[in-house]
Every structure is written in C-alpha cells, then in structure tokens.
Amino acid sequence: MKLLVGLGNPGKEYEKTWHNLGFETVQLFSKQMSATDFKLKKKLKSLVADTTIGEEKIILALPQTFMNKSGEAVRELISFYKINLTDLWVIHDEIDLEIGSIKISTNVSGAGHRGVQSIIDALGSQVFTRFRIGIRSERQGQIPTEDFVLQKYDRKTVEPIIKKTSAAIQAALAAGLAKAQNQFH
C-alpha cells in the first residue's frame, strides 16, 4: 500500500496558488486513476480517496491542516493506515527548482519547505519520497517567498506541469522510483 499526500492549503482563497500544486496534482492523478471521490476524514485531518493499481492499494490524501501543519495530518494517516514511511510519497511545490521541473527525492531534508519540515518533525524521519514541483521564476525573485507561493498562477503555465507530475507518479508506481527519476529529471 502507498500513501500519496498532496500538500496545499484548504479553502477557496488558496485555490490556484503555487503552494497548492501538490493538491492539484493528486486531484488530477485521482481522476486519471478512477479513484473514489475525496471525502473528509476529520480524525485524519484530511480529504481522502483511494484507488487500486494492479494489486496495490493507493491512498490519496489532501491534508486540511494548512501547509505549515501538514505533519499533523500525515502522522494520523500513517498511523491509521499502518503505512511504512518508505511507502509515503509527498507531492509539493519547490521554490528551489526551475518552474516546470520535477525532482523525485528520497530521504532528504525539508530544505526550508515548511510543510515538508512539519512532516519530518511529526514523523521523526525524512525517509519518505518527495515529488518536488519546481516553481522558481524571474518574478519570484522580486517578492518574498512567503508571498509568492500564495499568489495565483496562470492556468496555461501550470496545467502541463501538473500533468507531467502525475505522469511521473504513474511511472514510479509502474516501473519504480529509479526509472521515474531517470525519465523525469
């Protein structure tokens, strides 16, 4: 069983912002894989859906705790579903990567991403896998990062990035992380 967690902030005011690319990617993946509808699981502090690919069950989660407290929800999800940390895949925006790039990393620090750091702190480990979606652009350098990640993006720019990231997740599930890393880095 795998747990795929898309990071973002709940609420209409945060929709279509850079910080919600994790949410959007997992939602697209959910549609592409004919997953169940997302349902709020209050105890798990998340919207949760699931699907099966081959013989493997995939749990999809969108924490409703806000980005900087994502670890609270992930800890509950890991405990409830009894997920091995190596089967946790977190999908999120990454200011340190060029817009449109994807980097799949395992067992690396939060590198300043507060949502990821919250997960590391809550789990006491960083051995999980991250699908990091690049959002760095010329415009980003003109305003503080905290403000940039909450700005609305242009749908035409972001849609191919979300599709590419969903394809990377599908490739990793089908052929393994190493092959997906080679294909999408």
Cα angle vertex 85, ends 81, 90, to 5°? 90
For position 18, which CATH number holds? 3.40.50.1470
Q: Give the mean model confidence (pLDDT) for residues 156-165.
A: 93
* Domain count of the fold of the chain: 1
19 is catalytic: yes
Q: List phi, psi (to 5°) of 35.
A: -75, 165
Q: What is the pLDDT of residue 135?
A: 84
Q: What whole-number distance in Å separates Cα of residue 25 and Cα of residue 133?
A: 10
Choose among 22, 126, 9: nearest CA to 67: 9
Please list, in sequence order, all residues whose beta carbon lies within 8 angstroms of the beta carbon of residue 166, skipping any fewer than 6 positions away. 25, 28, 29, 32
Query: Please, what is the average pLDDT of the chain?
Result: 92
Q: What whole-number distance in Å separates Cα of residue 50 and Cα of residue 2?
A: 10
Cα angle vertex 129, ends 172, 70, to 5°? 125
Q: Give the mean model confidence (pLDDT) for residues 15-34.
A: 94
Choose the catalytic residue: 19, 92, 113, 185: 19
Q: Give the mean model confidence (pLDDT) for residues 4-10.
A: 97
Cα 69 to Cα 8, 52, 74, 116, 183: the distances in Å are 10, 28, 9, 9, 32
The model's confidence at residue 164, banded by pLDDT at 50, 70 and 90, is very high
**Dihedral of alpha carbons 175, 115, 10, 123, sign:** positive
The model's confidence at residue 153, banded by pLDDT at 50, 70 and 90, is confident
Range of the domain at 144: 2-184
